[in-house]
Amino acid sequence: MQILQIIVQSAHLLVIGVGVGLPLLAVPLNRKLIKFTDEEHRDALWTFTINLIRHAFILILLGSLLGLGLAGVLWSEDYHERCHLVMTKFKWAGVEWLVSMLILLTVYLHGKRHYGGKRSFWIRAIALSVGSFNLLYHLPILFIVIGAIPEQQVSYLTEVGQELSRESFNTLAHSSESLSRWIHACLALLAAASAYVAVIAIRVANQYAGGIQRDSAISVCRWSARNMLILLFCQLAVGIWTVIAMPADRTQDLLGGDLLPTTMLAAGLILLFVQLQQWTGLIGQRVRRSDLVRAVATFITMFCCMVAVSVLT
């Protein structure tokens, strides 16, 4: 069952992470439109950006369906009781999900006509940021809190038929362990989105032998590689904080007490350092498709190892 959970959870997080992260990455790409004076270059970049927003909408839908599948894998009496303790939060999370999807759909439909000027950029930037942060904050922190509710509190609240209070929810959500896990998860999801942008960019570049479209796509690919390096370094730092903030028993299992999660963690760290070398190479002048494929494959493997660590501990 744990193997199935790792597979489904990895797929869910990768897909939903790319979908949620793409709108945030579209904002700095939009910013370049103001700087460029060449109309053809601006058109090429805008076509690429608006397609990312369309991909984000589709991937969030697909990731949400995978999330329902993950719930089916995880479902148990204990999980059922925990979810009922935050049912009101679930309802508001559903509203936030719907609002975010409407924002993305509106930006995409409006942007299909023209990218506009500075005012249009700022309106899109605010809308995309709100739509993305809605999902990036509310849903991960909700599920982190569900897993962090103490057993005694679950039993008591279930017995008296009450939900988790706002104060208790905020206490759990803002604890060092929850915050470190949330930040680490957000960095991983944004890294997945950056890798996706690089793949789409190199795919677009390979459709042209030369010209503005190819140059623009290769530039976006290098930009994504730089983003990956920054996010990987940040993940390493936050990962250390996450381990320190863990309860003592989980830390002991992770650092040698349990062979399997320790092995997964060691494999993930090795792949992280391999990633640093791979993405550094992709910043160079010549971007090879085969090098990018290896880098993305390594990232996905590392991502699955870290999900396995989370599940097994």
Which range, 119-128, 176-185, 200-209, 244-253, is most confident?
176-185
At residue 77, the pLDDT reads: 77
Residue 132 domain flag:
yes
Give the pair of three-digit tokens for residue 218: 């290769």
At residue 36, the pLDDT reads: 66
In the block, which residue shows the tokens 């062979």?
259
Q: Which of 92, 69, 67 is nearest to 17 (CA)?
A: 67
Residue 242 domain flag:
no
First to last CA, the chain: 15
Please check the confidence at residue 114 and state whether its pLDDT lies above 70: no
Written as one letter, the residue type at 242 is T
Q: How far apart are CA 258 and CA 233, in angstroms?
A: 27
pLDDT category of residue 113 using cuts at 50, 70 and 90: low
Q: Average pLDDT of the chain?
A: 86
At residue 32, the pLDDT reads: 72
Give the pair of three-digit tokens for residue 36: 């460029």
What lies within 8 Å, CB to CB, of 67 at 6+ separation is: 12, 16
Q: How far apart are CA 46 and CA 222, in angstroms?
A: 17
pLDDT tens for residues 173-200?
999 989 999 999 999 999 999 999 999 9
Mean pLDDT score, 245-262: 80
Give the pair of three-digit tokens for residue 197: 């942008």
Neighbouring C-beta atoms of residue 255, cutoff 10 Å: 13
Mean pLDDT score, 12-31: 90
Residue 183 domain flag:
no
At residue 274, the pLDDT reads: 94
At residue 37, the pLDDT reads: 66
Mean pLDDT score, 10-39: 84
- The helix (run of H) or strand (run of E) holding residue 72 is helix 39-74
Please check the confidence at residue 271 and state whether its pLDDT lies above 90: yes
Residue 160 domain flag:
yes
> For the chain, what percent of residues have pLDDT higher than 70?
95
pLDDT category of residue 158 using cuts at 50, 70 and 90: confident
Residue 311 domain flag:
no
Residue 51 domain flag:
yes
Q: Which of 16, 146, 287, 82 is nearest to 279 (CA)?
A: 287
CB 305 within 8 A of CB 6: no
pLDDT tens for residues 46-93?
888 888 999 999 999 999 998 888 887 777 777 788 888 998 888 898
Residue 199 domain flag:
no
When divided into structural domains, the chain yields a total of 1
In the block, which residue shows the tokens 């930009």?
223
Kindly give the interhelix angle for 118-148 and 87-111, rounded to the nearest 10 degrees: 160
**Full residue range of the structural domain in which residue 74 is found:** 1-174
At residue 194, the pLDDT reads: 94
Give the pair of three-digit tokens for residue 210: 């030369």
Residue 207 domain flag:
no
